[in-house]
């Protein structure tokens, strides 16, 4: 008997020995499983196809992602001038309106600085008035000086002409006196000769002697007058030079007026500078009261009375809740059909039972990795392809009164068809 016949005979013997209520043996179960395996496989394949079809049908014409967050503005508030905090008028999570006073600084030093700036401005105004008055005085005095110098020069020139005439007259008088003196001397010589011959009297001789003495005196007087007129004309020449010097100095009047104008402009510039300093002091005084730049909720308050604040250190933040949007980070292979204006369904994790409506407002110009602190550099050779995500900004059309907060997680679905 071959092995197969022996196997069937053994199975028949086993079935004969079993009772009617005994469970089937493993030898009987294995063939049954093999007969049912094709039917189970078909059922599983049909179920997988049905599930896949349902999933495809449900997601057809849609792009979804759960990598989305609610976003909003965060307004950082800092003191615009350094100082010590006197009062803090708000607390964390308090709702404030634009213009509300948040913090007050100690204003004593700021007020003193404004008073100093005001005094500097008043001094600059007085200096400007003085420089303008000096400019007007310079203009008037220089005009008068020019006229006076020209008159003096003309007078000196006329004096020179007069003195020249006097010199000529003195020369003529000296020549005449010299001629008379020579004539009297000759006449005295002839009379003296005749007196020796006894032809004339002693009285005639004395008369001629007196005439000689008189002519000599006249000659000396004419010489003295000539020397005096010569000295006078030298003096008049010096006076002319002085008058001409005064005229030249007076003719610098335009330069003097120009210098006075420059002084006026300089004081005007100083006045504008002091006015700007006063304005800056007033601004710093107004900055001593820190006001809310926008309406919202106070967050991250880290200032207390007595603290020293500076413009480079934030003291608190304000989160406006009236301008909220959603940023969804879609995979790069999901962006092909996403466009601005498409309808979006938004589900915020904090409000799972609420579905909000919105629309695509804009798509980022680069992936999020490009704006990272250390963007990836694929030129190093160690390249591993990673699916990138691109931020898509979604504007919420109707918030339904939900208190959305920036940072909340959300799930969005874009209707691309």
Chain position carrying tokens 């092995």: 3
Q: What CATH class is the domain 111-276?
A: mainly alpha
Please determine, for residue 91, whether its predicted confidence score (pLDDT) is greater than 80.
yes
Output the pLDDT for position 8: 44
Output the CA torsion sign for 18, 19, 22, 24: positive
Output the pLDDT for position 1: 45
Reported as a single tens digit per residue, the pLDDT across 211-251 is 777 777 777 777 777 677 766 665 565 555 565 556 555 55
Q: Are strands 324-331 and 389-398 parallel, antiparallel or unpaired?
A: antiparallel
Looking at the domain 75-107+286-318, which fold is it?
OB fold (Dihydrolipoamide Acetyltransferase, E2P) (2.40.50)
Output the pLDDT for position 118: 92
Output the pLDDT for position 213: 75
Per-residue pLDDT, averaged over 17-33, amounts to 54
Please determine, for residue 391, whether its predicted confidence score (pLDDT) is greater than 70.
yes
Among 176-180, 289-293, 371-375, which stretch is predicted with the lowest mean pLDDT? 176-180
Per-residue pLDDT, averaged over 77-93, amounts to 93
Beta-carbon contacts of 170 under 8 Å, excluding residues fewer than 6 positions away, are 222, 225, 226, 228, 229, 230
155 DSSP β-pair partners? none
Output the pLDDT for position 344: 94
Question: Which is more confidently placed, 58 or 346?
Answer: 346
Residue among 303, 273, 240, 239 nearest 121 (CA)? 273
Which 3-state string (H, E, C) describes the chain?
CCHHHHHHHHHHHHHHHCCCCCCCCHHHHHHHHHHHHHHHHHHHHHHHHHHHHHHHHHHCCEEEEEEEEEEECCEEEECCCCEEEEEECCCCCCEECCCCEEEEECCHHHHHHHHHHHHHHHHHHHHHHHHHHHHHHHHHHHHHHHHHHHHHHHHHHHHHHHHHHHHHHHHHHHHHHHHHHHHHHHHHHHHHHHHHHCCCCHHHHHHHHHHHHHHHHHHHHHHHHHHHHHHHHHHHHHHHHHHHHHHHHHCCHHHHHHHHHHHHHHHHHHHHHHHHHHHHHHHHHHCCEEECCCCEEEECCCCCCCCEECCCCEEEEEECCCCEEEEEEEEHHHCCCCCCCCEEEEEEHHHCCCCEEEEEEEECCCCHHHHCCCCCCHHHCCCCCCCCEEEEEEEEEECCCCCCCCCCEEEEEEECC
Question: Which is more confidently placed, 98 or 377?
Answer: 98
CA distance 105 to 309: 9
Output the pLDDT for position 134: 81
Per-residue pLDDT, averaged over 279-295, amounts to 92
Per-residue pLDDT, averaged over 112-123, amounts to 92
Output the pLDDT for position 153: 59
Output the pLDDT for position 387: 86
Per-residue pLDDT, averaged over 321-336, amounts to 91
The Cβ of residue 196 has, within 10 Å, a number of other Cβ atoms equal to 10
Q: How confident is the model at residue 40 (pLDDT cuts 50, 70, 90)?
A: confident
Per-residue pLDDT, averaged over 141-160, amounts to 61
Output the pLDDT for position 90: 94
Output the pLDDT for position 24: 55
Q: How confident is the model at residue 20 (pLDDT cuts 50, 70, 90)?
A: very low
Reported as a single tens digit per residue, the pLDDT across 184-204 is 777 777 767 777 776 667 777
Please determine, for residue 114, whether its predicted confidence score (pLDDT) is greater than 60.
yes
CA distance 297 to 102: 12
CA distance 389 to 377: 16
Per-residue pLDDT, averaged over 125-150, amounts to 74
Question: Which is more confidently placed, 132 or 215?
Answer: 132
Residue among 304, 306, 282, 277 nearest 106 (CA)? 306
Among 102-111, 176-185, 334-343, 358-367, which stretch is predicted with the lowest mean pLDDT? 176-185
Output the pLDDT for position 11: 46
Output the pLDDT for position 58: 54
User: Could you state, in order of their start, the residue ranges of all structural domains in the chain?
Assistant: 75-107+286-318, 111-276
Output the pLDDT for position 264: 83
Among 127-141, 303-317, 402-416, which stretch is predicted with the lowest mean pLDDT? 127-141
Percentage above 70 pLDDT, the chain: 72
Please determine, for residue 369, whether its predicted confidence score (pLDDT) is greater than 80.
yes
Whole-model pTM?
0.56
Output the pLDDT for position 14: 44
Please determine, for residue 308, whether its predicted confidence score (pLDDT) is greater than 90.
yes
């Amino acid at each position: 008997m071959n092995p197969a016949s022996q196997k069937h005979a053994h199975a028949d013997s086993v079935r004969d020995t079993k009772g009617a209520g005994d469970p089937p043996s493993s030898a009987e179960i294995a063939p049954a499983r093999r007969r049912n395996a094709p039917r189970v496989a078909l059922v599983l394949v049909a179920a997988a196809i049905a599930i896949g079809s349902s999933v495809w049908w449900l997601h057809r014409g849609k792009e979804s992602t759960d990598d989305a967050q609610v976003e909003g503005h965060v307004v950082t508030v800092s003191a615009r001038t350094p100082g010590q905090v006197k009062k803090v008028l708000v607390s964390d999570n308090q709702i404030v309106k634009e213009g509300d006073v948040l913090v007050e600084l100690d204003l004593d030093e700021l007020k003193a600085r404004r008073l100093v700036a005001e005094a500097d401005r008043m001094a600059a105004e007085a200096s400007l008035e003085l420089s303008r008055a000096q400019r007007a005085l310079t203009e008037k005095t220089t005009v008068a000086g020019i006229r006076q110098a020209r008159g003096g020069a003309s007078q000196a020139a006329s004096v020179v002409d007069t003195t020249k005439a006097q010199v000529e007259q003195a020369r003529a008088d000296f020549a005449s006196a010299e001629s008379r003196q020579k004539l009297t001397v000759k006449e005295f010589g002839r009379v003296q000769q005749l007196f020796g011959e006894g032809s004339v009297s002693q009285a005639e001789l004395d008369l001629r002697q007196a005439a000689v003495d008189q002519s000599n005196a006249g000659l000396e007087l004419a010489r003295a007058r000539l020397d005096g007129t010569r000295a006078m004309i030298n003096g008049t020449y010096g006076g002319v030079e002085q008058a001409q010097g005064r005229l030249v100095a007076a003719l610098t009047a335009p330069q003097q007026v120009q210098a006075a104008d420059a002084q006026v402009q300089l004081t005007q510039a100083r006045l504008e500078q002091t006015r700007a300093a006063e304005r800056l002091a007033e601004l710093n005084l107004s900055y001593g009261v820190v006001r809310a730049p926008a309406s919202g909720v106070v967050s991250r308050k880290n200032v207390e009375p007595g603290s020293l604040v500076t413009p480079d250190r934030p003291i608190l933040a304000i989160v406006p809740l009236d301008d909220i949007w959603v940023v969804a980070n879609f995979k790069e292979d999901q962006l092909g059909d996403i466009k601005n204006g498409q309808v979006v369904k938004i589900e915020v994790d904090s409000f799972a039972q609420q579905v909000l409506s919105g629309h695509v407002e804009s798509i980022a110009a680069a992936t999020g990795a490009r704006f990272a602190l250390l963007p990836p550099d694929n030129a190093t050779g160690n390249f591993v392809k990673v699916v990138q995500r691109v931020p898509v900004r979604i504007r919420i059309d109707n918030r339904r009164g939900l208190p959305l907060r920036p940072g909340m997680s959300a799930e969005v679905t874009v209707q691309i068809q």
